[in-house]
Amino acid sequence: MTTYQYIEVENTKVFYREAGELGKPTILLLHGFPSASHMFRNLIPILEKEYHIIAPDYPGFGNTISPDRNEFSYTFDNITRILELFIEKLKINKYVLYVFDYGAPIGFRLAKNHPERVNAIISQNGNIYREGLGEKWAAREEYWANPTPVKRESYRKAFAAETIRHQYIDGTEEGKVSPDGYMLDIAYVSRVGNDEIQLDLIFDYQNNIRLYPDFQQYLREHQPSLLAVWGKNDVSFIPEGAKAFKRDLPEAEIHLLNSGHFALETHVEEIGELILCFLKQLNL
């Protein structure tokens, strides 16, 4: 049974979902943009019988009570720092890392900083390779190289209601995606002040790409067991990003599903079964 809790971390009140028994191997579920831990609402019941599940909302997302932008710099480094403190407060010494979208640069920072804590990695459309960047990223790189207030304002379209809806439904069969997920995400990003937080993070994303070589070096040095399970029709993080894991982890397990970016919305049972089989093979 899932419980819904808060814990104080510095000046942030972090919301998280917890399920499964303490003492069983922990899976840390890291959500993406523009979502929150609710994206795992259907995956948690599949995993909780065998594993202890922790799924936090980041500062600036979901139900986490976050500081004002004048008091907290919304960067991926800072979000990672809060999550490191969150993990330490919960006394989680080892975990399987599940990363999706924004969860990838956050999760791989965690892994790079504390490789001894990571039992295995599951990447669901969680990219750390240039090969995995879709066409839209060329425009973002031009913005990062030549930032202007006008260009910053133009990225409000990234969290417009219709953009969010299409993040969910593009690349999926018609009628297979419930509106519940994207309607909740639309409500989250529509809150007063959240727009500027999301614009800050869009600008800071350039630092994630600069860290790709470091993340890849971590893989080569530590050789964690890795399962990549991707919606192959994702236009943000294309399948080449999943395939690229093989370059650094020859034993990586790769599965491409007929879905889009939010593959859990259409293929949660299949993804859940792949995770259970993958971890069972590792005796976790």
More confident residue, 1 or 43: 43
**What pLDDT does 196 receive?**
96
At 173, is the pLDDT very low, low, confident or very high (cuts 50, 70, 90)?
A: very high
Structure tokens at 263: 């593959």
**What pLDDT does 206 receive?**
98
**Who contacts 210 (Cβ-Cβ below 8 Å, separation ≥6)?**
none
Record the pTM.
0.97
At 6, is the pLDDT very low, low, confident or very high (cuts 50, 70, 90)?
A: very high
**What pLDDT does 102 receive?**
98
At 7, is the pLDDT very low, low, confident or very high (cuts 50, 70, 90)?
A: very high
Instruction: Give tens-digit pLDDT for 14-70.
Output: 999 999 999 999 999 999 999 999 999 999 999 999 999 999 999 999 999 989 999
**What pLDDT does 23 receive?**
94
**Correct CATH for 3-281 of 3.40.50.1820, 3.40.1080.10, 3.60.15.10, 1.10.357.10:** 3.40.50.1820
**Who contacts 124 (Cβ-Cβ below 8 Å, separation ≥6)?**
98, 99, 100, 228, 229, 230, 263, 264, 271
**Quick one: the chain helix, strand, coil %, rounded to 5?**
45, 20, 35
**What pLDDT does 218 receive?**
98
**What pLDDT does 30 receive?**
98
**What pLDDT does 148 receive?**
96
Which entry of 31, 38, 52, 261 is annotated as an active-site residue?
261
Nearest to 214 by CA among 105, 118, 84, 120: 105
At 175, is the pLDDT very low, low, confident or very high (cuts 50, 70, 90)?
A: very high
Instruction: Give tens-digit pLDDT for 92-115.
Output: 999 999 999 999 999 999 999 999
**What pLDDT does 171 receive?**
97
Instruction: Give tens-digit pLDDT for 183-241.
Output: 999 999 999 999 999 999 999 999 999 999 999 999 999 999 999 999 999 999 999 99
Active site residue 166: no
DSSP result, 66-124: ---TTTS---HHHHHHHHHHHHHHTT---EEEEE-TTHHHHHHHHHHH-GGGEEEEEES
Nearest to 102 by CA among 71, 123, 73, 72: 123
Q: Which residues share a beta bridge with 15?
A: 6
Q: How far apart are CA 1 and CA 252, in angstroms?
A: 31
Peptide bond connecting 149 to the previous residue in cis, omega within 30 degrees of 0: no
**What pLDDT does 91 receive?**
97
DSSP 173: -
